[in-house]
A = this chain, B = another copy of it.
Amino acid sequence: MKPMLKIKRHEALRERLTDNPFCTDEQLARELSVSVQTIRLDRVRLGIPELRERVKSMAHTAQRKLRAIDSADVVGELLDIELGLRGISTMTVTPDMVIDRTGIARGYYMFAQANTLALAIIDAPAALTGVANVKYIKPIHKGERLIAKAQVIRQRGNKYFIWVKIRNEQEEVFRAKFIVVSLIGGE
């Protein structure tokens, strides 16, 4: 492989690092057939930090992100809650929630926000979703700040009927009805 032009190489460098950020300058140098120093110069010019910094920031943001959709009981941020009655949460649509091609947020994020809010307002030690009826009214885009309002409509035994509506600005963009079952003792 012959050494390539600078601009081409910069592109190649960026590409290689996006699909494998765990790459030392030495490996990059070998792959692009230039010296390690050239890679370092390129990195400085392109504002790309060294391996360790890359990895560290990945670990940081990943930790934050995972916390957002994974370990948290509520996806989004819980603003207000009246157990057994109603609750409000917000969620801001970050760039990684949207499909690149269309710029529209993946549907399951709104589902997750609504569903976790519905579960949060149940006045029981544990609860499970039994049924969900969901309507996506308007596409949602990056940067939009969604507000979800949940309300218990009816309760029969250990079954709760809950409506959740999500608004963006004043516009309703999503609506869901959940039937949630509270678990008293068993699994």
Interfacial residues, chain A to chain B (CB-CB below 8 A): 21-22, 52, 55-56, 58-60, 62-63, 65-66, 69-71, 73, 75, 96-97, 99, 101-104, 106-108, 111-112, 115-116, 125-126, 128-136, 139, 183, 187
Report A64 CB to chain B, min CB distance, Å.
10
Q: Do A96 and B108 touch across chains, with their CB atoms under 8 A apart?
A: no
As for how many copies of this chain the complex holds, the number is: 2
Task: Find the residue from A103, A108, A132 having the highest chain B CB count within 10 A.
Answer: A108
Give the residues in chain B near A115, CB-CB below 8 Å: 107-108, 111
Q: A60: nearest residue on chain B (CB-CB)?
A: B22
Q: Given the complex, which residues of B lie within 8 Å of A99, measured CB to CB?
A: 73, 126
Contact, CB under 8 Å: A112 / B108: yes
Q: Is B135 a contact of A187 with CB atoms below 8 Å?
A: no
Partner of A65 from the list B56, B70, B128 (CB cut-off 8 Å) is B70
Residues of B within 8 Å of A56, CB to CB, are 22, 55, 59
List 12 A-B pairs, Cβ < 8 Å.
Answer: A52-B52, A55-B56, A58-B63, A59-B62, A62-B65, A102-B126, A103-B187, A107-B128, A107-B129, A108-B115, A111-B115, A132-B136
| Inter-chain contacts of A187 with B (CB < 8 A) | 102-104, 139
Our pick among B60, B70, B96 for the contact of A71 (Cβ within 8 Å) is B96
Q: How far is the CA of A101 from the CA of B128 in the complex (A)?
A: 12
Q: Using CB atoms, name the residue of chain B closest to A75.
A: B108
> With A108-B112, A111-B132, A131-B133 given, can you name 17 additional A-B contacts, CB distance below 8 Å?
A55-B56, A59-B62, A62-B63, A73-B99, A102-B126, A102-B128, A104-B128, A107-B115, A107-B132, A108-B108, A111-B111, A112-B112, A130-B135, A130-B136, A132-B134, A133-B134, A134-B134
- Closest 5 pairs (CB-CB, A-B): A62-B62, A132-B134, A108-B112, A58-B59, A107-B129
